[in-house]
Amino acid sequence: MRSPALHLKTKTTPRGLRSARVLVWLALLLALNCGRERRNPLDPETSLVTERLSPPASMVATPGKGLVRLQWTPVSSRLLAGYALYRAEQVNGNYAWVQGDGDTSLNITTSKTVFVDSAGLSVKTYYYQIAAVDTNGLLSRHSPFVVVTVQDDNAPPAAPQNLSVVADKSAKGSLLLRWTAPMLDADGGELTGLAGYLILRSEGNGASLAPVDTVDAQTREYIDAGLKGVTQYIYAVQAFDQAGNYGPLSLPGQATTRGVLPASGLNATAGIERIELRWNRSLDAVLAGYNLYRANRSDGEYLRLSGSEGPSFTTGRTAYLDSNLEGGQIYYYRVSAVTATEESALSEFAGAAALPDTL
Protein backbone atom coordinates (compact mmCIF):
# COMPACT_ATOMS: atom_id res chain seq x y z
CA MET A 1 0.00 0.00 0.00
CA ARG A 2 1.48 3.30 -1.05
CA SER A 3 1.83 6.07 1.44
CA PRO A 4 -0.02 9.25 0.64
CA ALA A 5 2.14 12.02 -0.81
CA LEU A 6 3.22 14.83 1.53
CA HIS A 7 2.55 18.35 0.34
CA LEU A 8 4.71 21.17 1.95
CA LYS A 9 2.93 24.47 2.31
CA THR A 10 4.71 27.85 2.61
CA LYS A 11 3.74 29.66 5.79
CA THR A 12 2.35 33.08 5.01
CA THR A 13 1.83 36.00 7.46
CA PRO A 14 -1.58 37.47 7.47
CA ARG A 15 -1.78 41.10 6.46
CA GLY A 16 -3.17 42.10 9.83
CA LEU A 17 -0.23 40.55 11.64
CA ARG A 18 2.23 42.40 9.45
CA SER A 19 0.53 45.71 10.25
CA ALA A 20 0.73 44.93 13.97
CA ARG A 21 4.44 44.28 13.72
CA VAL A 22 4.99 47.62 11.96
CA LEU A 23 3.17 49.40 14.73
CA VAL A 24 5.34 47.67 17.35
CA TRP A 25 8.52 48.78 15.54
CA LEU A 26 7.26 52.36 15.33
CA ALA A 27 6.50 52.34 19.07
CA LEU A 28 10.01 51.07 19.82
CA LEU A 29 11.61 53.81 17.68
CA LEU A 30 9.51 56.46 19.40
CA ALA A 31 10.51 55.16 22.82
CA LEU A 32 14.19 55.20 21.85
CA ASN A 33 13.85 58.73 20.57
CA CYS A 34 12.20 59.87 23.82
CA GLY A 35 14.93 58.20 25.84
CA ARG A 36 17.58 60.03 23.85
CA GLU A 37 15.88 63.35 24.61
CA ARG A 38 15.95 62.65 28.32
CA ARG A 39 19.58 61.61 28.26
CA ASN A 40 20.88 64.47 26.13
CA PRO A 41 18.73 67.61 26.12
CA LEU A 42 21.30 69.37 23.89
CA ASP A 43 21.01 66.73 21.11
CA PRO A 44 20.29 68.83 17.99
CA GLU A 45 17.84 66.15 16.79
CA THR A 46 15.58 66.52 19.81
CA SER A 47 12.71 68.91 20.23
CA LEU A 48 14.28 70.45 23.38
CA VAL A 49 16.75 72.37 21.23
CA THR A 50 13.93 74.59 20.09
CA GLU A 51 13.55 75.76 23.72
CA ARG A 52 17.04 77.28 23.89
CA LEU A 53 17.19 81.08 23.88
CA SER A 54 18.02 82.97 20.76
CA PRO A 55 21.40 84.75 20.75
CA PRO A 56 21.44 88.53 21.19
CA ALA A 57 21.35 90.41 17.93
CA SER A 58 22.88 93.59 16.53
CA MET A 59 25.89 93.76 18.86
CA VAL A 60 27.91 96.93 18.29
CA ALA A 61 31.46 97.53 19.61
CA THR A 62 32.72 101.10 20.04
CA PRO A 63 36.44 101.66 20.74
CA GLY A 64 37.66 103.94 23.51
CA LYS A 65 40.93 104.80 25.19
CA GLY A 66 41.95 101.53 26.77
CA LEU A 67 38.40 100.16 26.66
CA VAL A 68 35.59 98.85 24.45
CA ARG A 69 31.89 99.68 24.79
CA LEU A 70 29.54 96.90 23.69
CA GLN A 71 25.78 97.13 23.17
CA TRP A 72 23.22 94.67 21.80
CA THR A 73 19.50 94.11 21.34
CA PRO A 74 17.88 92.49 24.39
CA VAL A 75 16.57 88.93 24.24
CA SER A 76 12.87 88.76 25.09
CA SER A 77 12.22 85.71 27.25
CA ARG A 78 10.98 85.03 30.75
CA LEU A 79 13.79 82.45 31.06
CA LEU A 80 16.57 84.99 30.40
CA ALA A 81 19.08 85.28 33.28
CA GLY A 82 21.75 87.40 31.56
CA TYR A 83 24.39 87.49 28.87
CA ALA A 84 27.79 85.83 28.51
CA LEU A 85 30.41 87.86 26.64
CA TYR A 86 33.44 86.29 24.99
CA ARG A 87 36.64 87.93 23.70
CA ALA A 88 39.46 86.74 21.43
CA GLU A 89 42.51 88.29 19.80
CA GLN A 90 41.99 86.41 16.53
CA VAL A 91 38.82 85.87 14.56
CA ASN A 92 39.18 82.08 14.82
CA GLY A 93 41.03 82.15 18.13
CA ASN A 94 40.11 81.08 21.62
CA TYR A 95 37.13 83.14 22.79
CA ALA A 96 37.57 83.57 26.54
CA TRP A 97 34.66 84.43 28.82
CA VAL A 98 34.74 88.04 30.08
CA GLN A 99 33.93 88.50 33.75
CA GLY A 100 31.69 91.38 34.73
CA ASP A 101 29.12 92.17 37.39
CA GLY A 102 26.96 89.11 36.68
CA ASP A 103 26.57 85.71 38.33
CA THR A 104 29.89 83.90 37.86
CA SER A 105 28.33 80.53 38.74
CA LEU A 106 26.28 80.77 35.52
CA ASN A 107 29.07 82.45 33.53
CA ILE A 108 26.96 85.58 33.20
CA THR A 109 28.98 88.66 32.31
CA THR A 110 26.11 91.11 32.82
CA SER A 111 22.33 91.25 32.94
CA LYS A 112 22.31 94.59 31.09
CA THR A 113 22.49 95.22 27.35
CA VAL A 114 25.49 97.54 27.65
CA PHE A 115 28.94 96.53 28.89
CA VAL A 116 32.29 98.34 29.08
CA ASP A 117 35.27 96.01 28.77
CA SER A 118 38.28 97.72 30.33
CA ALA A 119 40.14 94.86 32.05
CA GLY A 120 43.67 95.85 31.11
CA LEU A 121 43.08 96.06 27.35
CA SER A 122 46.11 97.06 25.32
CA VAL A 123 46.18 98.86 21.99
CA LYS A 124 45.24 96.02 19.64
CA THR A 125 42.31 94.47 17.78
CA TYR A 126 39.77 92.33 19.66
CA TYR A 127 36.91 90.10 18.54
CA TYR A 128 33.72 89.67 20.58
CA GLN A 129 30.81 87.23 20.62
CA ILE A 130 27.85 87.11 22.98
CA ALA A 131 25.33 84.48 24.09
CA ALA A 132 22.14 84.56 26.12
CA VAL A 133 22.01 82.54 29.35
CA ASP A 134 18.79 81.13 30.77
CA THR A 135 17.91 80.51 34.41
CA ASN A 136 19.28 76.95 34.20
CA GLY A 137 22.63 78.12 32.92
CA LEU A 138 21.98 76.92 29.36
CA LEU A 139 23.64 79.10 26.72
CA SER A 140 22.24 80.09 23.38
CA ARG A 141 24.34 79.91 20.26
CA HIS A 142 27.06 82.56 20.06
CA SER A 143 26.27 85.64 18.05
CA PRO A 144 28.33 86.57 14.99
CA PHE A 145 31.57 88.24 16.02
CA VAL A 146 32.24 91.97 16.02
CA VAL A 147 35.72 93.42 15.68
CA VAL A 148 37.15 96.57 17.27
CA THR A 149 40.57 98.15 17.79
CA VAL A 150 41.28 99.72 21.18
CA GLN A 151 42.60 103.26 21.10
CA ASP A 152 45.80 104.33 22.84
CA ASP A 153 45.24 106.08 26.17
CA ASN A 154 47.81 108.84 26.51
CA ALA A 155 45.73 111.16 28.68
CA PRO A 156 46.01 110.71 32.47
CA PRO A 157 43.08 111.27 34.83
CA ALA A 158 42.49 114.74 36.15
CA ALA A 159 43.35 115.58 39.76
CA PRO A 160 41.19 114.12 42.57
CA GLN A 161 38.93 116.70 44.20
CA ASN A 162 37.91 117.85 47.70
CA LEU A 163 40.80 116.30 49.67
CA SER A 164 40.22 116.59 53.42
CA VAL A 165 42.52 115.49 56.25
CA VAL A 166 41.40 115.20 59.88
CA ALA A 167 42.76 113.58 63.02
CA ASP A 168 41.41 110.07 63.52
CA LYS A 169 39.54 110.12 66.85
CA SER A 170 39.66 106.33 67.19
CA ALA A 171 43.45 105.99 67.16
CA LYS A 172 46.45 107.94 68.37
CA GLY A 173 48.92 109.01 65.71
CA SER A 174 46.44 108.52 62.84
CA LEU A 175 44.98 110.84 60.21
CA LEU A 176 41.92 110.20 58.04
CA LEU A 177 41.94 111.25 54.36
CA ARG A 178 38.87 111.56 52.13
CA TRP A 179 38.54 112.74 48.52
CA THR A 180 36.30 112.51 45.45
CA ALA A 181 37.19 110.97 42.10
CA PRO A 182 38.09 113.06 39.06
CA MET A 183 35.27 113.46 36.55
CA LEU A 184 37.39 113.86 33.41
CA ASP A 185 40.81 113.09 31.99
CA ALA A 186 43.44 115.78 32.39
CA ASP A 187 42.92 116.91 28.78
CA GLY A 188 39.22 117.55 29.44
CA GLY A 189 38.11 114.37 27.67
CA GLU A 190 36.04 111.54 29.07
CA LEU A 191 37.60 109.78 32.07
CA THR A 192 38.91 106.38 30.92
CA GLY A 193 40.59 103.47 32.62
CA LEU A 194 40.86 104.91 36.15
CA ALA A 195 42.89 102.33 38.10
CA GLY A 196 43.71 103.86 41.50
CA TYR A 197 45.27 106.59 43.58
CA LEU A 198 48.74 107.36 44.93
CA ILE A 199 48.87 108.86 48.45
CA LEU A 200 51.71 111.34 49.09
CA ARG A 201 52.75 112.86 52.43
CA SER A 202 55.21 115.29 53.95
CA GLU A 203 55.98 116.03 57.59
CA GLY A 204 55.65 119.77 58.14
CA ASN A 205 55.79 122.56 55.59
CA GLY A 206 59.49 122.28 54.82
CA ALA A 207 59.56 118.66 53.58
CA SER A 208 58.77 117.48 50.08
CA LEU A 209 55.89 115.12 49.35
CA ALA A 210 56.84 111.44 49.18
CA PRO A 211 54.72 108.39 48.20
CA VAL A 212 53.08 106.56 51.11
CA ASP A 213 50.68 104.01 49.60
CA THR A 214 48.40 103.20 46.65
CA VAL A 215 44.71 102.27 46.72
CA ASP A 216 42.31 101.01 44.04
CA ALA A 217 39.89 103.12 42.03
CA GLN A 218 36.91 102.32 44.28
CA THR A 219 38.63 103.66 47.41
CA ARG A 220 37.93 107.24 48.48
CA GLU A 221 39.16 107.05 52.07
CA TYR A 222 42.52 106.27 53.67
CA ILE A 223 43.78 106.04 57.28
CA ASP A 224 47.45 106.90 57.71
CA ALA A 225 48.52 105.32 61.01
CA GLY A 226 51.71 105.11 63.07
CA LEU A 227 52.46 108.82 62.86
CA LYS A 228 54.17 111.02 65.41
CA GLY A 229 51.93 112.67 67.97
CA VAL A 230 51.18 116.39 67.80
CA THR A 231 52.82 116.66 64.39
CA GLN A 232 51.58 118.42 61.27
CA TYR A 233 51.38 116.37 58.06
CA ILE A 234 50.56 117.56 54.54
CA TYR A 235 49.02 115.29 51.90
CA ALA A 236 48.17 115.16 48.21
CA VAL A 237 46.45 112.46 46.15
CA GLN A 238 47.28 111.54 42.54
CA ALA A 239 45.07 109.46 40.22
CA PHE A 240 46.48 106.97 37.71
CA ASP A 241 44.91 104.86 34.95
CA GLN A 242 45.34 101.33 33.62
CA ALA A 243 47.75 102.57 30.94
CA GLY A 244 50.15 103.81 33.65
CA ASN A 245 49.40 107.52 33.17
CA TYR A 246 49.66 109.58 36.37
CA GLY A 247 47.63 112.78 36.57
CA PRO A 248 48.27 116.04 38.42
CA LEU A 249 48.27 116.24 42.21
CA SER A 250 45.20 117.24 44.11
CA LEU A 251 45.17 120.42 46.11
CA PRO A 252 47.01 119.73 49.40
CA GLY A 253 45.31 118.92 52.68
CA GLN A 254 46.87 119.02 56.13
CA ALA A 255 46.17 118.18 59.75
CA THR A 256 47.96 117.67 63.07
CA THR A 257 47.90 114.34 64.86
CA ARG A 258 46.47 114.01 68.34
CA GLY A 259 48.79 113.59 71.29
CA VAL A 260 50.49 115.24 74.24
CA LEU A 261 52.61 118.32 73.55
CA PRO A 262 56.24 117.32 74.19
CA ALA A 263 58.74 119.02 76.47
CA SER A 264 61.73 120.71 74.86
CA GLY A 265 65.04 122.34 75.67
CA LEU A 266 66.44 119.49 77.81
CA ASN A 267 69.79 120.45 79.37
CA ALA A 268 72.16 118.29 81.47
CA THR A 269 74.66 119.85 83.96
CA ALA A 270 77.34 117.66 85.56
CA GLY A 271 77.95 117.56 89.31
CA ILE A 272 79.88 115.28 91.64
CA GLU A 273 78.36 111.84 91.07
CA ARG A 274 75.18 113.48 89.92
CA ILE A 275 73.66 115.28 86.95
CA GLU A 276 71.09 118.07 87.14
CA LEU A 277 68.45 118.09 84.36
CA ARG A 278 66.25 121.03 83.31
CA TRP A 279 63.81 121.52 80.41
CA ASN A 280 61.05 123.79 79.12
CA ARG A 281 57.51 123.31 80.36
CA SER A 282 55.06 121.45 78.10
CA LEU A 283 52.11 123.58 76.96
CA ASP A 284 49.61 120.73 77.26
CA ALA A 285 46.63 121.92 79.31
CA VAL A 286 46.00 118.58 81.06
CA LEU A 287 49.61 117.74 81.90
CA ALA A 288 50.23 115.42 84.88
CA GLY A 289 54.04 115.40 84.90
CA TYR A 290 57.19 114.28 83.09
CA ASN A 291 59.10 111.07 82.55
CA LEU A 292 62.91 111.06 82.48
CA TYR A 293 64.74 108.34 80.55
CA ARG A 294 68.45 107.49 80.87
CA ALA A 295 70.92 105.46 78.77
CA ASN A 296 74.68 104.84 78.71
CA ARG A 297 74.82 105.57 74.98
CA SER A 298 73.06 108.22 72.94
CA ASP A 299 71.62 105.54 70.66
CA GLY A 300 71.16 102.95 73.41
CA GLU A 301 68.10 101.75 75.28
CA TYR A 302 66.56 104.51 77.41
CA LEU A 303 65.07 103.30 80.71
CA ARG A 304 62.56 105.36 82.66
CA LEU A 305 63.73 106.80 85.98
CA SER A 306 61.34 106.32 88.88
CA GLY A 307 60.31 109.23 91.08
CA SER A 308 58.48 109.86 94.33
CA GLU A 309 55.91 112.40 93.11
CA GLY A 310 53.59 110.04 91.28
CA PRO A 311 53.33 106.39 90.27
CA SER A 312 52.93 107.10 86.54
CA PHE A 313 55.62 109.75 86.00
CA THR A 314 59.10 110.67 87.21
CA THR A 315 58.45 114.23 88.35
CA GLY A 316 55.86 116.98 88.21
CA ARG A 317 58.48 119.71 87.90
CA THR A 318 60.73 120.90 85.06
CA ALA A 319 63.93 119.92 86.88
CA TYR A 320 65.33 116.65 88.16
CA LEU A 321 68.51 115.66 90.04
CA ASP A 322 69.88 112.25 89.09
CA SER A 323 72.29 111.29 91.87
CA ASN A 324 74.45 108.36 93.05
CA LEU A 325 76.07 108.11 89.64
CA GLU A 326 79.47 106.72 88.77
CA GLY A 327 82.04 109.48 88.45
CA GLY A 328 83.59 109.81 85.00
CA GLN A 329 80.70 107.96 83.30
CA ILE A 330 78.73 109.78 80.58
CA TYR A 331 74.96 109.57 80.90
CA TYR A 332 72.35 110.44 78.27
CA TYR A 333 68.77 111.61 78.97
CA ARG A 334 65.47 112.21 77.21
CA VAL A 335 62.22 113.63 78.64
CA SER A 336 58.53 113.20 77.80
CA ALA A 337 55.33 114.91 78.95
CA VAL A 338 52.60 112.77 80.53
CA THR A 339 48.83 113.19 80.93
CA ALA A 340 46.40 110.88 82.71
CA THR A 341 45.98 108.77 79.53
CA GLU A 342 48.84 109.54 77.12
CA GLU A 343 52.55 110.24 76.87
CA SER A 344 54.27 112.54 74.41
CA ALA A 345 57.15 111.63 72.14
CA LEU A 346 60.59 111.69 73.70
CA SER A 347 62.67 114.85 73.43
CA GLU A 348 66.07 115.09 71.81
CA PHE A 349 68.79 113.63 74.06
CA ALA A 350 71.14 115.60 76.29
CA GLY A 351 74.25 114.12 77.91
CA ALA A 352 76.88 114.88 80.55
CA ALA A 353 79.66 113.06 82.45
CA ALA A 354 79.22 112.81 86.20
CA LEU A 355 82.22 114.23 88.07
CA PRO A 356 84.17 111.87 90.30
CA ASP A 357 84.42 112.46 94.07
CA THR A 358 88.12 113.26 94.56
CA LEU A 359 87.90 113.96 98.30
Q: What's the confidence (pLDDT) of residue 242?
A: 81
Torsion of CA 346, 347, 348, 352, to 10 degrees: -100
**Under DSSP, is residue 33 helix (H, G, I), strand (E, B) or coil?**
helix
Q: How far is residue 357's CA from residue 122's CA, in Å, rounded to a whole number?
A: 80
Residue 110 main-chain phi, psi, to 5 deg = -160, 160
Which residues on neighbouring strands pair with residue 275, listed in sequence order? 270, 322
Q: What's the confidence (pLDDT) of residue 19?
A: 60
DSSP string, 48-94: GGGGSPPPPEEEEEEEEBTEEEEEEEPP--TTEEEEEEEEESSTTS-
Question: In which element (H, E) is residue 322 found?
Answer: strand 319-322
pTM over 0.85: no
**Tens-digit pLDDT profile for the chain (359 aa)?**
454 444 444 445 555 555 656 565 555 555 555 544 444 444 444 444 457 899 999 999 998 877 899 999 999 999 999 999 999 999 999 999 999 999 999 999 999 999 999 766 777 899 999 999 999 999 999 999 999 998 777 789 999 999 999 998 777 789 999 999 999 999 888 887 789 999 999 998 767 999 999 999 999 999 999 998 888 999 999 999 887 889 999 999 999 998 888 899 999 999 999 999 999 999 887 889 999 999 999 999 999 998 877 678 999 999 999 999 999 999 999 999 998 888 888 999 999 999 998 87
Query: Reading across the β-sheet that carries 303-304, which strands appear in turn?
Result: 303-304, 289-295, 330-338, 350-353
Which residues on neighbouring strands pair with residue 313, listed in sequence order? none
Q: What's the confidence (pLDDT) of residue 15?
A: 58
Delineate the domains of the chain, giving CATH numbers in brackets.
Answer: 52-149 (2.60.40.10), 161-256 (2.60.40.10), 264-353 (2.60.40.10)
